[in-house]
Every structure is written in C-alpha cells, then in structure tokens.
Amino acid sequence: MNKDVKLRILLVHASAAELFNWTGRGVERSHVYPANHEGHAALAQTLQDDARTPFFILVDCIEEDFRHDSIAHVGGSDRRELLKRKLKLQFRNTPYRLATIIGREKSGRRDDNVLFSALSNPELLDPWTDTLLRCQVPVKGITTPAYLMEAYAAKHKRHEEHLILISIEPTTGIRQTYLKNGKVMLSRLAPWVQEEAVSANRLTEQVVPTRKYLERIKLVPFDKPVKVLVFSSGLTDFSDGFSDTDELQYEIVEMAAQSALLEAMTDALKKRRMRNLYAPFALRRYFHINQVRMGLFLLSASTLLTTAALVTPKFLNIVDSTDRTISFRIQERPLLQDYERLRLGFPETPIASNTMAVVVETYDAIQNQTLNPAQAMASISSAMRGISDIRLIGFDWSVRMSEERETAAEQQLLAGARISPQAFLAQAIIDQQTALNVIVEGRVENITSYQSAQDQVINFIDALSNEHGFTVNPLQLPLDSSPTANVTMRLDGSTINPPFRLELMQELQP
C-alpha cells in the first residue's frame, strides 16, 4: 500500500479502463486494463495489494443521456417522490441515473424544470463495479467528463449564458459539453481517427449541428450567440482557423497536457469538487462502512482523551476518577456494538455472490409489490375533496401486469407460448412491472341534472389523474353515450342518484 496515494480514479471508456493515483499534488497513471475478462482479473489482482484506498469512477462514454422535462412545483418529500418516479420512468434499465432541478418556468404554473441524466448502458460499467465490490473497495462515487467541465468552467470564472466546451481526448474522441449559466445541460461524444489531427473545419462541422439542436429543444434562443471554448493540444491543428459568426464565437485555450479531461479532473480534485452523481447506495456501501468505522474510532479516541483530561486534575480523588472512566466506557459500549453489527452484516456466504444478489433482489422485488389499501384509499379520498355529492359504494382492487408487460404477454401467447396467466403475473412481480388495479363503484346523490352529475364525475376523474397519478378508464358514467344506453329524465325537478363505475390503474414503483 502506497501511503502517498489519497484517492484512486478509475477512468472507464468503451475499450479499456485506466487507473490513476491522486497524491494530493497531482494525478499519475498507474495501470491500463482492457475491457474484457483478462482486464477485470488484472484489476482484481491490483486490488489485492491495496483495497483500502477509496476509489472514484470517471465514465467517459457515448451512452450518457440528457433529457429535459418539467414537474409541478412542490416541496419536501413530495418533490423527492415525484422526482424518483419521473426518473424511474425516464431511465428504467439503469441504476446509474440522476435528476436535478435546474430552474422554474417564468410563466403559467411556474413548474420546476428538471434535467434527467443517466449512464444508459450499464453493461459497460457493471463488470468493473462488480470487481470493486468483490474486493470490498470503498467507492466514493461516479461522475462524468460533462460535470468535470462544469467544475472547470466555475474555477476559471466562465460565466457566459451559453457556453460550449470542446475537448479532444486520445482514447475516446471529440466531446462537446453545453453549459447554460454555468450548469450542464447536454454533452455529446463523437469518435475520431486518432492518426489525424483535429482541424478547425472538423470542429465547426461538429458544433453547427449542436447549435441547431439546442435551438430546436429551446435551450438557446435563435438570436443569442454561443461562446465556443476549444482546448488546443498536440492532437489539434487549427492552422485553417475558426470563423466567428452571429451564432458561434470561438476562443482557443492552449494546454500543455494532451488531455483536457485530466486537467479538469486535477482541478476538481484540488478544489474537492468531485462529487458523486450516479453511484447508487449499494455500490458505495463499503465507503459508508469506512465512514462509520472512522466515526466510531474518532468518538472512542475522543472519549479516552476526555477521560484522561478529567482524571489528571483530580489525581488524588481516585474513586471519582474511576467512576468517570466507567461512565465513559458504558457510553462507548453501544457504539462498539453498532460497529460490530455493521461488520457482521457482510459475512462470508455459502453460495456465490451473484446467486445471493439474485435472491435478495427477487425478495426485494416481491416486497415492493405488496399492496397497502390504506394508501390507495387515502389517494381516492383526497381526490373527492370539494366534490360533495359523490358517494362511493364499492371497491375491488388487485395486482395486474403493467400495460407494457400485458402487451408483451399477449404477443408471446399469439406466438404459441404455453405459459399460464399466473406465471406471467409472477414474472412481472419479480421484474417489478406491475400495477394496482381498482374498480370503484359509486353514485351521485341528491342532484337534479344528469349533466351536473356527469361534470362531478369528470372532476373526480381529473383529480385522480392529475394529482394522484392514476390512469382512469370510465366503465360507466351518469351520461352514457353508447348506442345501447338508456337515459331517464324527471320533469318534476326531484333529485336523481345516477351510478358510475371507474377503473383506476397505477404502476407500482420499485
């Protein structure tokens, strides 16, 4: 173990992974591992010598997606749950995802603008993270070049409203990162032939379509210029020169190193601006255990120092000093017990780790699909506020497959698959693709107009859909417009109690 190494950085790209050591003064490349079984085994061999030094993972790949959307402006736990649900809908197939509030709309309902980003190809990263977990390495987090460029712009006080940073990396290609008021909005990576130096014309051909795309998604107004910051190194040849226009204004930044990414990473490490973006809690568990262990160690040391400080001035009063020492040790005991429970939480298992992971994930998936009728009733009750004449007389709820899963099941049956409906539903529960299905029966009481009854039911449907996330299918309404419907009128002005039936469906969140 090299005591000078404070942090290790694993730079992952499509063809290989590079290991760097951060000593507090600079970044040094240590190893390069090919993206195959031999490379993963070589990384594991390296970790046998030192598995205690924390790791940070930097992913430089094409498959980093950025999507923009808006949500209702709410606060506290409601915002967290809404962001969690929307993020799950945006990126279902990867655990490496992030939702960030980037502002509010200036008119209308003034909804929150949200940037959803994710590493959409987990197969690229999983073999490396699995190796780190098997070796019990403390992983601090995962970040990407786009967010390192954001930190670089902040350090160098690049506060332009619209800014594109272009870097040419020898192992990956040409990366364009768009910042709006200093915040990442979009990043793209394009491959290039490494035998050729990148010219100004080549970069212009890359930037112009990016500018048009930003206009199309309404991030950049048509009449606003975009500042383009180009990092120049030994990989570039700008002898043909850039031509400024009303839309694009170029600036060249000369660099001593060949990699703008490594320079931005070094700046972020010096300023401690490398923060976790995409690493889930499960990947960081050994880092958290180390944090708890360190906290317990410091608390124990503090306890012992405090005890010594209290004993020394009262050396002659031995009995009193002994009582204080015992008191501190009693306070220390539950903390050590907590540490022991944490340590025993990761025992050696008699089965393979991947098999244990499947068992735990399947158990969690089944637990996550457990229905709580109180929650559904609370949502339906909340939707009835302000609708005084509606009375509910019956409920029937069940778990069913989500619409996407039902469509897939129907296609399999049409193809000749011999699978029972119960087997389809069981697999959907394991895959966490189920939905809560509720049939609600009710009537509108003490009302003299079918149209008024219809309006109240429609308001009830809107509240269920917009405020509580239900998909509502009306099975029967007070005004039934079907060819076989019968409508009865009262001409004496007396009240009517028309019935209605609704089908509510809401996908269960894992």
Place of tokens 């009728």: 373
Coil, strand or helix at 368: helix
Tell me how many domains the chain contains: 4
What is residue 294's predicted lDDT score, i.e. its pLDDT? Answer: 81
DSSP conformation letters of 258-289 = S-HHHHHHHHHHHTT----SS--TTTTHHHHH
Q: Which domain holds residue 216?
A: 144-257
**Token pair listed for 178:** 């768009």
Mean pLDDT, contiguous 10-residue spans, the chain (510 residues): 81 93 88 94 90 92 91 86 90 92 85 92 94 93 93 90 90 91 92 74 90 92 92 76 90 80 87 88 89 82 74 67 79 79 65 66 66 74 80 81 76 77 72 79 82 84 82 83 56 71 77
The answer to whether residues 169 and 250 belong to one domain is yes
Task: Compute the distance between CA of residue 72 and CA of residue 345 in angstroms, rounded to an integer.
Answer: 40
The answer to whether residues 96 and 196 belong to one domain is no
Q: Is residue 238 part of a domain?
A: yes
What is residue 311's predicted lDDT score, i.e. its pLDDT? Answer: 62
Q: Is residue 304 part of a domain?
A: yes
Q: Is residue 35 part of a domain?
A: no
The answer to whether residues 150 and 203 belong to one domain is yes
| Rg of the chain over all Cα atoms, to the nearest angstrom | 30
Provide the whole-model pTM. Answer: 0.58
Contact by Cβ (8 Å): 349, 303: no
Place of tokens 């029937």: 396
What is residue 3's predicted lDDT score, i.e. its pLDDT? Answer: 65
What is residue 486's predicted lDDT score, i.e. its pLDDT? Answer: 57
The answer to whether residues 377 and 476 belong to one domain is yes
The answer to whether residues 417 and 460 belong to one domain is yes
Q: Is residue 126 part of a domain?
A: no
Domain at 247, CATH number: 3.30.420
The answer to whether residues 149 and 245 belong to one domain is yes
Domain end point (choices 105, 120, 135): 120
Which candidate, 315, 281, 503, places its Cα nearest to that of 394?
A: 503
Q: Is residue 135 part of a domain?
A: no
Alpha helix (H) residue ranges in 91-241 = 122-134, 145-155, 200-216
Task: Compute the distance between CA of residue 392 and CA of residue 499 in angstroms, rounded to an integer.
Answer: 10
What is residue 506's predicted lDDT score, i.e. its pLDDT? Answer: 77
The answer to whether residues 377 and 446 belong to one domain is yes
What is the residue type of 287? F
The answer to whether residues 231 and 115 belong to one domain is no
Q: Is residue 381 part of a domain?
A: yes
The answer to whether residues 380 and 497 belong to one domain is yes
Place of tokens 């079984």: 37
Q: Helix/strand/coil (H, E, C) string of 5-74?
A: CCEEEEEECCCEEEEEEECCCCEEEEEEEECCHHHHHHHHHHHHHCCCCCEEEEECCCCEEEEEEEECCC
Q: Is residue 241 part of a domain?
A: yes
Task: Compute the distance between CA of residue 217 and CA of residue 212 in angstroms, rounded to an integer.
Answer: 9
The answer to whether residues 501 and 390 belong to one domain is yes
Task: Compute the distance between CA of residue 167 and CA of residue 263 in angstroms, rounded to an integer.
Answer: 11
The answer to whether residues 98 and 158 belong to one domain is no
What is residue 226's predicted lDDT score, i.e. its pLDDT? Answer: 94
Q: Is residue 2 part of a domain?
A: no
Residue 17 CB neighbour total at 10 angstroms: 25
The answer to whether residues 429 and 326 belong to one domain is no
